[in-house]
A and B are shown apart, each in its own frame.
Chain A
Amino acid sequence: MTWTIVVGVKQVPDADEVGIDPDTGRLDRASAPAVMNGPDQHALEAALTIRDQVGGELYAMSMGPPNATSILEEAVAMGCDDAVLISDRAFAGSDTWPTSLTLARAAEALEADVVLCGEETTDSSTGQVPPGIAAHNGWAQLTYAEAVDARPDEDRLVARRDVEGGHELVAADLPVVVAAAFGEFPPRPAPLHRKIYGENDFEPTVWDAEDLEIEDEVGLAVSPTSVGSMETVQPVERKSEVVDDVDDLAAAVEEVFA
Chain B
Amino acid sequence: MTDAIDVDDYADVWVFVEEHAGEVMPVSWELLAEGAKLTEKTGDDLVALTIGEAVDDVAAEAIERGADRVLAADDPVFEPYRADPYGAQFRAMVEERNPSIVLIGGTHTGRDFAGRVAVPTHAGLTADVTEIDVDEEGILQARRPAFGGDLLATILCEDHRPQMATIRPGVFEAAGRDPDREGEIVDVDVVVDESDAISDVLERVVGDTADITEADRIVAVGHGIEGDLEPALKLADALDAELAASRAAVDEGWIDGSRQVGQTGKTVRPDLYVAVGISGAIQHVEGMNKSETVIAINDDPNAPIFEHADYAIVGDLFEVCPALADRLTDQRAMEVEP
Cα of A242 to Cα of B306 in the assembled complex, Å:
8
* Interface residues in A111-169 (C-beta closer than 8 Å to B): 119-120, 122-128, 131-132, 134-136, 139-144, 158, 161-169
- Would you give the 0/1 interface string for A215-258, flagging 1 where the beta carbon is closer than 8 Å to chain B? 01100001011111111110110111111111111101110110
Cα of A14 to Cα of B310 in the assembled complex, Å:
29
Partner of B293, one of A230, A233, A256: A256
Cα of A135 to Cα of B149 in the assembled complex, Å:
29
The interface residues of chain A lying within 8 Å CB-to-CB of B336 are none
Q: Name the residue on B nearest A29 (C-beta).
A: B147
* A183 at the B interface (CB under 8 A): yes
**Beta-carbon contact of B311 and A170 below 8 Å:** no
Nearest-neighbour CB distance to chain B for A235, whole angstroms, equals 8
* Interface residues in B76-114 (C-beta closer than 8 Å to A): 80, 82-84, 87, 107-109, 111-114
Identify whether the interface residues of A are mostly helix, strand, loop, or mixed. mixed
**Beta-carbon contact of A97 and B271 below 8 Å:** no
**Beta-carbon contact of B310 and A173 below 8 Å:** no
Q: Name the residue on A nearest B151 (C-beta).
A: A230
- Using known A-B contacts A132-B119, A162-B257, A165-B207, determine if residue A141 contacts B112 with beta carbons closer than 8 Å: yes
A residues in contact (CB < 8 Å) with B: 15, 18, 20, 27, 95-97, 100, 119-120, 122-128, 131-132, 134-136, 139-144, 158, 161-173, 182-184, 216-217, 222, 224-233, 235-236, 238-250, 252-254, 256-257
Cα of A173 to Cα of B83 in the assembled complex, Å:
13
B41-49, B65-73, B225-233, B312-320 - interface stretch: B312-320
**Beta-carbon contact of B151 and A239 below 8 Å:** no
Cα of A7 to Cα of B25 in the assembled complex, Å:
32
The interface residues of chain B lying within 8 Å CB-to-CB of A97 are 118-119, 122, 125
A-B contact count (CB 8 A): 253
- Would you give the 0/1 interface string for B280-302, flagging 1 where the beta carbon is closer than 8 Å to chain A? 00100000011011110000010
**Beta-carbon contact of A183 and B247 below 8 Å:** yes
25 A-B interface contacts by CB (under 8 A): A15-B282, A96-B127, A131-B119, A135-B118, A139-B198, A140-B83, A141-B83, A164-B206, A169-B201, A169-B204, A182-B247, A216-B1, A222-B2, A224-B157, A226-B156, A227-B154, A228-B155, A235-B289, A241-B312, A242-B312, A246-B327, A249-B320, A249-B324, A256-B272, A257-B272
Identify whether the interface residues of B are mostly helix, strand, loop, or mixed. mixed
* Interface residues in B195-210 (C-beta closer than 8 Å to A): 198-210
**Beta-carbon contact of B327 and A128 below 8 Å:** no
The interface residues of chain B lying within 8 Å CB-to-CB of A27 are 147, 150-151
Q: Name the residue on B nearest A119 (C-beta).
A: B264
**Beta-carbon contact of A140 and B293 below 8 Å:** no
* Interface residues in B1-44 (C-beta closer than 8 Å to A): 1-2, 25
**Beta-carbon contact of B202 and A184 below 8 Å:** no
**Beta-carbon contact of B202 and A164 below 8 Å:** no
**Beta-carbon contact of B151 and A232 below 8 Å:** yes
* B256 at the A interface (CB under 8 A): yes
The interface residues of chain A lying within 8 Å CB-to-CB of B301 are 242
B residues in contact (CB < 8 Å) with A: 1-2, 25, 80, 82-84, 87, 107-109, 111-116, 118-120, 122-128, 141, 145-160, 198-210, 239, 247-248, 251, 256-258, 263-264, 271-272, 282, 289-290, 292-295, 301, 306-314, 320, 323-324, 327-328, 331
**Among all A-B residue pairs, the 4 with the closest Cβ atoms:** A165-B209, A131-B115, A224-B124, A135-B119
Q: Name the residue on A nearest B161 (C-beta).
A: A224
Cα of A59 to Cα of B61 in the assembled complex, Å:
49
Cα of A165 to Cα of B310 in the assembled complex, Å:
31
Q: Name the residue on B nearest A179 (C-beta).
A: B112
Nearest-neighbour CB distance to chain B for A11, whole angstroms, equals 16
Q: Name the residue on B nearest A237 (C-beta).
A: B310
Nearest-neighbour CB distance to chain B for A119, whole angstroms, equals 7
Partner of A250, one of B115, B272, B294, B327: B327
Cα of A124 to Cα of B122 in the assembled complex, Å:
20
A132-B115, A143-B111, A232-B150 known, 20 other contacts, Cβ within 8 Å: A100-B119, A128-B114, A132-B118, A135-B87, A143-B83, A143-B112, A169-B203, A173-B199, A225-B157, A226-B156, A226-B158, A229-B154, A232-B152, A238-B310, A240-B306, A241-B312, A242-B306, A244-B313, A250-B324, A257-B271
**Beta-carbon contact of B327 and A247 below 8 Å:** yes
**Beta-carbon contact of B151 and A131 below 8 Å:** no
**Beta-carbon contact of B289 and A236 below 8 Å:** yes
The interface residues of chain A lying within 8 Å CB-to-CB of B208 are 165
**Beta-carbon contact of B312 and A158 below 8 Å:** no
**Beta-carbon contact of A171 and B200 below 8 Å:** yes
**Beta-carbon contact of A222 and B111 below 8 Å:** no
- Using known A-B contacts A216-B1, A250-B331, A253-B328, determine if residue A158 contacts B128 with beta carbons closer than 8 Å: no
